[in-house]
Amino acid sequence: MMKNFSFIILFTLISVFTVAQNKNREADLKAVFIYNFTRYIEWDSSDVSENFIIAVIGSSPVTASLNEIAKSYAANNKRIIVKVFDRPEDIGNCQVLFIPQKLPWSLSSILDRADKGILTVSEQEGYASRGTTFNFVPVNGKLKFEANLKSIASAGLKVSSQLLKLAIIIQ
Amino acid sequence: MQVVVSVLVLGIFFTIFIISDTRSYKQRKVEDTITLAQVIGSNTVSALQFLDEEAARNILMELHKVNPDIFQAGILDKDGNVFVHYSKPGSDSPDVFTLLKNKNSLFRENHLYVKSDILNGNELLGKIFLEADLAELRQLNKSKFESAALLLLLALGFSVFLAMIMQTYISRRLLSLVNTMKEVARTGDYSKQIADDGKDEISVLVQGFDQLMEKIKENLRRKDEFIGIASHELKTPLTSLKGYLELLKQIEDHSLSRKFSEKALNSVSKLEKLIRDLLDVSKIQGGQLELNPIEFDMGNLVDESIASVQLFSNTHIIIREDDLKNTMIVADRQRIDQVLVNLLTNAIKYSPGEKKVIVRSKVAKDELVIQIRDYGTGVSSEEQHLIFDRFYRTRNTSVHISGFGLGLYICRDIITRHGGRIWVQAEEKGSTFSFTLPLHKLAAKQQTLLNLSNEQNFSSR
């Protein structure tokens, strides 16, 4: 099963961990986790778009880390494009939408714009129960993540049990 | 010896078998454990990717639950740091990470240590280490050694059984050889040959024995031939010597010369007797001793024989203690006389200083028994069957008796040819020599005459 994933990931990981050496370790780790999420999630196969778009709304140090990863590596055999949406109104076509903490907009205004087929990842306590699919939370000083099964189902995504096994499940 | 060798060979065989089996079992176990490590490794890929040690630990603990032989398991991340480590509670196993620093697998004290890469595609995520207890191998080895020992015992029993059969086969043949040897030593019949159709060392031995017998027989034949020729050649001049001496004795009137020629004649007679014995033996050996059976009165013959022996003895008196009258037998009269004279002479010779020799005869059933009893030195029980052999001289050195040791041999041959028996038995003092002659009814006499002459023809062939 795992062998179906790209075989260049070896180099990916080397660079991923090189990135993690940076000062902003938490941002790097989150970027790596987001990238790793894509390996365990299946998007609608009818999507024939050329690129794999990871978007960030507002400003976040994670954007820089994602750009580092996107430089050399692919997701779902597609080139990764990192996009930044300045406002909720700008949210358009993308596969992953990262919602950083401390945004001036309400969560619902963002989620309303996020269409079906978008993996929404937040980093604010309680956001998962409020509708994002994945949400980073610190547990005992370690980075963990919550997964909202309902949001995943309504987004039309298939998440591997390997990933869910590691997640804190929100019903 | 065979048994020891076969057990040794089997033991070596079993040991090699068990060693190679253990080796292949270990090989298999290494492969199995590495496969297990790979499966566990791929299950921990996501845990490694998301740095979730707890998930990884759970996987390892579950592994131990499912497979209690796994004593220790651990994962290093790709930088070589311990990501997670689990070891069975209470076990004091050495650190698996240091043990396998430069190796992929290792056997130590019945524990197997293996290492395997955790790969996601071609991407190295870390390394998994396992320690497996080989209790199963110990169990397997134990049962294998037990069954090997059992088989070895069976094989031992079987080879002992085989060896016993072989032993019987071999010793039967060896015993037959030994018995033949003993018999040859006892009877002096060197014509014995042993048949052995084997193809081993024993049959070589038997063949060697047969060849030896053949050689001895040939040598004896030559010796007998020589004795025959020699005695014959000696007899001719002796006969003429005797004739001239007798003539000389008759014409000599001077008493001293007459006495000397008498003494010379005596010596010549003794010499003649010796040569005659030799000649007889030679004839017996060559199967040329001829019998001329006639019907005669045995009582008369006994009297005649006693008289002729008594004539030469002034020391002993020969007493006849029976009244054998009109007992007609069919035999070679001259030869039977020879036997009687020989036995009587012996009785006198071997009882120096004694006065009497007793002759008894009786009719028992259909045979005539003649017994000659002396009061001399006697015959020891060991010697009783030897004295009838050729050239046998008594070991009793207290009396020195001259002669070749042929007399009894010739007697035995003559009596046996007549269908009788001859033997000796020890008495309180001295001994009794006995022989029998068959008493044939008148109707059978003609037949006996025929048989005896047939026998001669046969033996002279």
User: For residue B400, what pLDDT is reported?
Assistant: 63
For residue range A103-158, list pLDDT tens digits in order.
Answer: 888 888 888 888 788 899 999 888 888 889 999 998 888 889 999 999 888 888 88
Least confident window among B71-80, B289-298, B381-390: B381-390
Distance (Å, whole) CA B235 – CA B269: 11
Q: How far is B79 from chain A (nearest CA, A)?
A: 10
User: For residue A19, what pLDDT is reported?
Assistant: 45
Tokens 């059969």 map to which residue? B165
Residue B459 confidence class, pLDDT cut points 50, 70, 90: very low
Least confident window among A19-28, B1-10, B236-245, B306-315: A19-28
Distance (Å, whole) CA B268 – CA B368: 35
Kind plus residue range of the DSSP H or E element containing B359 = strand B356-364
Distance (Å, whole) CA B206 – CA B189: 17
Distance (Å, whole) CA A58 – CA A83: 10
Between vectors from CA A26 to CA A100 and to CA A138, what angle results, nearest 5°? 80
Q: Taken in order A98, A99, A101, A103, is the CA torsion positive or negative?
A: positive
Single-letter amino acid code for the residue at B178: V
Mean pLDDT for B7-11 is 82
pLDDT at B320 over 70: yes
Q: What is the pTM of this model?
A: 0.50
- Contact between A159 and A41 under an 8 Å Cβ cutoff? The reply is yes
Mean pLDDT for B80-94 is 81
User: For residue B404, what pLDDT is reported?
Assistant: 72
Q: From edge to edge, which strands make up the β-sheet containing B356-364? A: B317-320, B356-364, B367-373, B431-438, B422-426
User: For residue A22, what pLDDT is reported?
Assistant: 44
Q: Which residues of A touch B119 (CB under 8 A)?
A: 2
Distance (Å, whole) CA A48 – CA A77: 12
pLDDT at B363 over 80: yes
Chain B residues near any Cβ of chain A (below 8 Å): 42, 45-47, 49-52, 55, 78-79, 119-125
Average pLDDT, chain B: 83
Q: Which residues of B4-29 are buried (b: 16+ CB within 10 A; e: fewer)?
A: eebbeebeeebeeebeeeeeebeeeb
Asked if B45 lies within 8 A of A166 by C-beta distance, the reply is no
For residue range B409-435, list pLDDT tens digits in order.
Answer: 889 989 988 889 999 988 888 889 999
For residue range A44-99, list pLDDT tens digits in order.
Answer: 766 667 889 999 999 899 998 999 888 888 888 888 999 999 888 888 888 999 99
Distance (Å, whole) CA B275 – CA B235: 7
Mean pLDDT for B231-259 is 85
Phi, psi (rounded to 5 degrees) for B169: -60, -45
Asked if B121 lies within 8 A of A33 by C-beta distance, the reply is no
Q: Which of A5, A142, A162 sits opposite B121 (nearest CB)?
A: A5
Q: How many CB pairs under 8 A join A and B?
A: 50
User: For residue B78, what pLDDT is reported?
Assistant: 84
pLDDT above 90 as % of chain B: 6
* Greater pLDDT, B112 or B192: B112
Identify the CA nearest to B96 among candidates B64, B121, B57, B130: B130
pLDDT at A7 over 60: no
Phi, psi (rounded to 5 degrees) for B430: 85, -160
Helices B407-417 and B255-286, axial angle in degrees (round to 10): 50
Residue B48 confidence class, pLDDT cut points 50, 70, 90: confident
Distance (Å, whole) CA B51 – CA A30: 12
Mean pLDDT for A25-47 is 86
Strand partners, B108: B111
- According to DSSP H, which parts of B287-357 are helical? 298-312, 333-349
Asked if A9 lies within 8 A of B120 by C-beta distance, the reply is yes
For residue range B344-358, list pLDDT tens digits in order.
Answer: 988 888 888 878 899
Chain B CB within 8 Å of residue A164 CB: no
Strand partners, B368: B363, B437
Asked if B123 lies within 8 A of A36 by C-beta distance, the reply is no
User: For residue B327, what pLDDT is reported?
Assistant: 80
Chain B CB within 8 Å of residue A144 CB: yes
Distance (Å, whole) CA B145 – CA B134: 17
Residue B401 confidence class, pLDDT cut points 50, 70, 90: low
**What SS3 state is found at A92?**
coil
In order of A137, A159, B202, the CA distances from A149 in angstroms are 16, 9, 96
pLDDT at B188 over 80: no
Asked if B52 lies within 8 A of A166 by C-beta distance, the reply is yes
User: For residue B458, what pLDDT is reported?
Assistant: 47
**Residue A75 burial (10 A CB sphere; 0-12, 13-18, 19+):** buried
Euclidean distance between the first and the last CA atom of chain B, given in angstroms as a whole number? 52
- Contact between A23 and A67 under an 8 Å Cβ cutoff? The reply is no
- According to DSSP H, which parts of B287-419 are helical? 298-312, 333-349, 407-417
**What SS3 state is found at B72?**
strand
User: For residue A20, what pLDDT is reported?
Assistant: 45
Interface test with A, best of B53, B57, B120, B124 (most A CBs within 10 A): B120
Tokens 């009061």 map to which residue? B375
Q: Taken in order B281, B282, B286, B287, is the CA torsion positive or negative?
A: negative
How many other C-beta atoms can be found within 10 angstroms of the C-beta atom of residue A164?
15
In which region does residue B204 sit, left (phi positive, over 0), alpha (psi from -120 to 50) or beta (all else)?
alpha
Distance (Å, whole) CA B92 – CA B11: 37
Mean pLDDT for B320-336 is 83
Q: What is the ipTM of this complex?
A: 0.73
Asked if B121 lies within 8 A of A2 by C-beta distance, the reply is yes
Q: Which of B42, B55, B78 sits opposite A2 (nearest CB)?
A: B42
Chain B CB within 8 Å of residue A9 CB: yes
- According to DSSP H, which parts of B70-134 are helical? 96-99
Distance (Å, whole) CA B317 – CA B306: 10
User: For residue B451, what pLDDT is reported?
Assistant: 63
Chain B CB within 8 Å of residue A33 CB: yes
B436: tokens are 């029998």
